[in-house]
Amino acid sequence: MILLKAKKFIAAAMLGVFTIYCPVTADASIKRLHDPKVETKTVERKTLPTLRERVTETMSKFKPLDDVELYDDDDFTQTVDVPQTLSTYDTSIIGTPIATQQQCVKYLLRNNPRPNLKVSAEEIVAYYYEEGRREGIRPDVAFCQALKETGFFRYGGDVVPEQNNYCGLGTTGGGVRGEYFSTPQLGVRAHIQHLLAYSSTRRPTMPVVDPRYGIVRQAYGSRTLGTWQDLNGRWAVPGRYYGQEILSMFRDVLIQ
Identity of residue 182: S
| Better pLDDT: 47 or 126 | 126
Cβ atoms of residues 228 and 141 within 8 Å: yes
**Cα–Cα distances in Å, from 217 out to 68, 72, 148, 171, 202?**
37, 34, 24, 19, 10
pLDDT value, residue 72:
57
Residue 21 predicted with pLDDT over 80: no
Integer distance in angstroms from the first to the last C-alpha of the chain? 120
Residue 126 predicted with pLDDT over 60: yes
Specify the pTM.
0.72
Instruction: Work out the burial of residue 254: count CB atoms within 10 Å of its CB; fewer than 13 is exposed, 13-18 middle, 19 or more buried.
Output: middle
Instruction: Domains for the chain: give ranges and CATH numbers.
Output: 2-44 (no CATH), 73-253 (1.10.530.10)
Per residue in 35-93, pLDDT tens? 444 443 444 444 555 555 554 454 444 433 333 345 555 556 677 899 999 999 999 99
Cβ atoms of residues 155 and 116 within 8 Å: yes
- The predicted model gives 25-43 an average pLDDT of 41
- The predicted model gives 5-33 an average pLDDT of 44
| Beta-bridge mates of residue 176 | 173
Per residue in 165-188, pLDDT tens? 999 999 887 888 899 999 999 999
